Amino acid sequence: MSQSRSSCAIPYQQTPFSFGMDPKTLAFTAIAVACTPFALLLCWNYFLPFLFRIFSHTVGSTLGWYLRKLTEGRRSLIIRTTAENEAKFREGKAQRKDSNTSSDDEGWENIEGSILGTAGNGEKGDRDWDGIIGFFHPFCNAGGGGERVLWAAVRATQKRWPNAKIVVYTGDHDVSKENMIARVKNTFSIDIHPPTIHFLYLSTRHWVLSSTWPHMTLLGQSLGSLIMGWDAFSLLVPDIFVDTMGYAFTLGLSKILFPDIPTAAYVHYPTISTDMLDSLDPKTAVGSQGVNAGKGVGFKGALKKSYWKIFAAIYSWMGASVDVVMTNSTWTQGHIQSIWGPRRKQRGRKNSIAVVYPPCAVHEIERQVEISEGSEKQRQKYIVYIAQFRPEKNHQVILQSFAEFVKTGSPAAKEAKLVLLGSVRDDNDSRRVYKLRLLVNELHIKDQVIFQLDASWSEILQWLSKAFVGVNGMWNEHFGIGVVEYLAAGLICVVHNSGGPKLDIVTDVDGQPTGFHATTTSEFAEGFEKALSHPDPLTVRRRARLSSKRFSEEEFVKKWLAQIEKLVAMKL
């Protein structure tokens, strides 16, 4: 018994709770245990990302090397084909030299020094650079404002670097190069130089369609863009990679695979924004706006909020990888800066996020559309809406507003007609148009609404020359090229009280308005009434045209080339 008691007793001169360790060892052990949570936190925030970067750099560079080897043959073919096509083009041009008709082609090698001389170092802005610039725009045949940006950018780049090869990654398999160039000319009045442009056709575009991802669409389409990006690089690895459609994940993939390839993003609209997050909460100021308005309530709503916040963090990481970022408006710049800015600063990105307004055919509209006392007599009570038939364009709201306006029976409403001008991209757009036609019948305004689908540029000009009012119904429209065209044509604007139309376009000139802002159907109806009954519309038209000069193609070219020259400088 005494032996048992002695075995349980604390050894002689040993401190209680020492666990058999001397004081020094015990102190070190206690410190180690106390520091463990902090060590794990540091590991999670710094060490693991560091290991991931090493892993992604190693694996990414290996895959990038594989893609370069895979596409060497196509690169050589493009270089050889370009040289052959250029020789044929010059030969044909020489044969047409004695023709009396002037051609835009004659200006390909003659650009004003004010446009070209934006590089800080003449050597860095070398006009003889002959690399390959890849434009990632899978829907380049859509015919919308984003496509006008693409083709104006391509034309400006061709003129600035006539020896460079332009590659457009597209999913429009049913359109040949010749037909694509012809449509660009017909739709936007932009002449593309044929010898130096090439189209590479993607086979994975369906991965970014919303119909492919009925649930978790944002993440699904972004993951789909990674598949499409791999598809693009499997066709050709360019020297400079430019995304003009908003696929930030593709730019992130480019940096993982090819760290030495300069990248640029022209952002029309952030994939996710603080306004989108706020719109989930019905109690916020924007809780009733957008296609996801008020959907953040309940358990499912909480999950959606969390999902969007996680996605925003990943989106920020992708955006931080881009070398040069351009946005189309002050509104877009603010949101991209709030999402991408902090992480870009952490990564030491030196180029600030620039606003480059989209190119608008301001001068051509000035030439084609007269604004005078004589032309005022030719104006009719047409309210035109130029927009693709996409859900966010809110055609339904505009139709309901117009119906409300017509029901007032006011003198301004008599004989007024609404004209919907827009391109139809696919079957989804066709179905939307069909539903809009049904709504027109339900609202009893069939005889006062005109659908002009896939209108050519000449047809758009005709409508702009005889219309009275231009309308835009999209909440947080990123910019609104159609609205600028309204201004240039002298139309009195009635636009949504948000986004680019509010902040950048329909603004006062010398303290006087160029149009009206609205949010609800009643406010739009009131706007139509004010515009069509304005006592001095000619003065407003002249003011609007003056305001539109800020958005000319020349201004776009200068700002676009100033940014792209930064990328070319990185390759010299």
pLDDT at 53: 67
Tokens for 374?
């004589």
pLDDT tens-digit readout, 507-529:
999 899 999 999 999 999 999 99
Please report, in angstroms and rounded to a whole number, the separation of the first and last CA atoms in the chain: 91
CB count within 10 Å of CB 279 equals 24
Q: Tell the residue number behind the tokens 């073919």, with chain if given.
A: 77
Mean pLDDT of 355-380: 92
pLDDT of 19 higher than 60: no
Task: Pick the more confident residue, 282 or 427.
Answer: 427
- The percentage of the chain sitting over the pLDDT mark of 90, rounded to a whole number, equals 63
pLDDT band, residue 54 (cuts 50/70/90): confident
Kindly report the CA angle at 69 between 207 and 563, in degrees rounded to 5?
Answer: 65
Nearest to 420 by CA among 471, 487, 457: 471
CB 139 within 8 A of CB 245: yes
pLDDT at 285: 58
Using DSSP's 3-state secondary structure scheme, residue 241 falls into: strand
In this structure, of 98-107, 346-355, 387-396, the range with the lowest mean pLDDT score is: 98-107
What is the value of pTM for the model shown?
A: 0.76
pLDDT at 480: 87
494 vs 517: CA distance, rounded Å: 6
pLDDT tens-digit readout, 55-65:
667 888 899 99
pLDDT tens-digit readout, 182-199:
999 988 889 999 999 999
Nearest to 404 by CA among 396, 453, 535, 286: 396
pLDDT of 22 higher than 70: no
CB neighbours of 158 closer than 8 A, spacing ≥ 6?
Answer: 108, 164, 166, 192, 193, 196, 197
Helices (H), 96-174: 113-116, 145-160
Chain centroid to Cα 157, Å, comes to 18
Mean pLDDT of 208-237: 94
